[in-house]
Amino acid sequence: MNDIDRAYKANPTIENYLKLRKKYPNHDIEVALLGGIDTIFAVEEETKKYGIDGDLLAGVMDADIESIDRMSIIILRELAKRKNLERKGEVHLIGRRKVIPTSLIDFLIKVALDAVSWNGTLEIPRSLIVLIRERLGGKSCKYAEIENIKERKNAAIFIAARHYLRTGEIISYRSLSKIMGIQASTISRWFPDKDFEENVKRKASMMEFFSRRRSGELDPEYKAHVGWAVEMTAAYFLRKGIIPTEKLIMKALEISKDIIRQAVWGKLDYLEMAKAQLACLPKDQSLYEFLREQRKVLHQK
C-alpha cells in the first residue's frame, strides 16, 4: 500500500476518491476498508447461527473463490427461506432471529468485495453477483420495466399491422387485448390520441414494402434517400469521434444490411465515406435529431 492508497483510506469518501483519481489517473487505488482477524472475531458468533463459521470467513477474507461462492449460496438460501416464510404470513422474522439480518448480509458482501480488492484477484463467483443483484432489487427495476413496455408496444403494433394488411381495418384495443393477454385500458395508455393508428399504418407500410422488395429492386427514389442517409449518418458518427461501421449504421437507421448494400453499392469503407461527407453535415443539428428525422422518412417510404 502506497501513499495514494493511504490517502483514500484515511478519508474514504466519494469526493476524496474522485479527487485522487483525477490527480493520479493511472494509479489503481486499493479501496478495501474491512478485513483482518478482528473482523472474524466481531461477527463469527452471529454468522455461525446461519452456517458461516470462522474458517469460511477466513477463506472469504483471503479472496478464495470457493469460499466466497459457498458463503453467497448460504446467504441466498437464507433469503429464499425469508421469502417463503413471508409468503406464509410470518412477520418480524429478523427480530425473532428466524432469518439472517439484512445488515449482516450487506456487511458480508462488503467483506467479500474488500477481500477481492485487497488481494488483487478482482474476480468474484456468479453466486455473489446474484446476491448483490438481489440486494439491489432483483431483476426488476424502473428501466427494465420501460424496456419491457417498449417491447410489448412493438408487439402490439406488429400484430395490429398484420391485421390491417389482411382486413384494411385498425384492430380495436379490446380485440388486441384478447390476443396479447393484456387489458385494453393498458394498451390505450400506451398510445395516446391517434398515435396507435399512425404507428400501425406506418408499420403495415414497411411490412408491405419489404414483402414487395423480396421479389425486386428498391425503388430508385428510396434507394437514393437510403444512400444519402447512410453517408450522412457515417459522417455524424465520425464527427462524434465514433468510427462508423455497417453494423452501427444499420442499428442507428433501423434498416437491414441488404437495403444498405442495395442502396450504397455493396460493402464500403464507411470511414472514407464519412470523411467525404463531413463538410455537408447540417449545421446545429444533433445526431439524435438527425437519426429521428431519417428514420421517419425511411420508414414512411
Taking only the tens place, the pLDDT of each residue in 246-286 is 888 888 888 788 777 777 665 567 788 788 778 777 767 77
Which residue's entry shows cell 419489404? 210
The radius of gyration of the chain from alpha carbons, rounded to an integer in Å, stands at: 29
- The pLDDT, as a whole number, for residue 41 is 83
The pLDDT mean for the chain works out to 83
Q: Which residue has the cell 456468479?
A: 126
Q: Which three cell numbers stand for residue 58?
A: 477466513
Tracing cell 435529431 back to the chain, one arrives at: 289
Mean per-residue pLDDT for 97-123?
89
Distance of CA 178 to the CA centre of its chain: 30
- Cβ neighbours of 147 (radius 10 Å): 10
Res 152: pLDDT = 86
Q: What percentage of the chain carries pLDDT values higher than 90?
A: 24
Query: What's the rounded Cα separation, in Å, for the pair 49 and 106?
Result: 17
Least confident span in 9-18, 60-69, 224-233: 224-233
Identify which has the larger pLDDT, 140 or 210: 140
C-alpha to C-alpha distance for 35 and 291, rounded to whole angstroms: 51
Residue 173 C-alpha cell reads as 384495443
Identify the band that residue 216 occupies on the pLDDT scale cut at 50, 70 and 90. low
Residue 299 near residue 254, CB atoms below 8 Å: yes
- pLDDT tens for residues 158-181? 889 888 888 888 999 999 988 888
Q: Is the pLDDT of residue 51 over 70?
A: yes
Kindly tell me if the per-residue pLDDT of 212 is higher than 60: no
What's the distance, CA 154 to chain centroid? Answer: 18
Q: What is the pLDDT of residue 211?
A: 58
pLDDT of residue 16 exceeding 90, the answer is yes
With beta carbons less than 8 A apart as the criterion, state whether 210 and 259 touch: no
Q: What is the pLDDT of residue 130?
A: 94
Q: 164: burial class by Cβ within 10 Å (0-12, 13-18, 19+)?
A: buried
pLDDT at 294: 77
The pLDDT value given to residue 24? 92
Look at residue 107 in the predicted model and tell me its pLDDT: 93
For the chain, give every domain's residue range: 32-135, 142-213, 220-300
pLDDT digits (tens, 9 = 90+) for 63-91: 999 999 999 999 999 999 888 888 888 77
**The pLDDT of residue 221 is above 60:** yes
- Per-residue confidence at 300, pLDDT binned at 50, 70, 90? low
For the question of whether the overall pTM of this predicted structure is more than 0.75, the answer is: no
pLDDT: is 203 or 109 the higher one?
109
Please determine, for residue 215, whether its predicted confidence score (pLDDT) is greater than 50: no
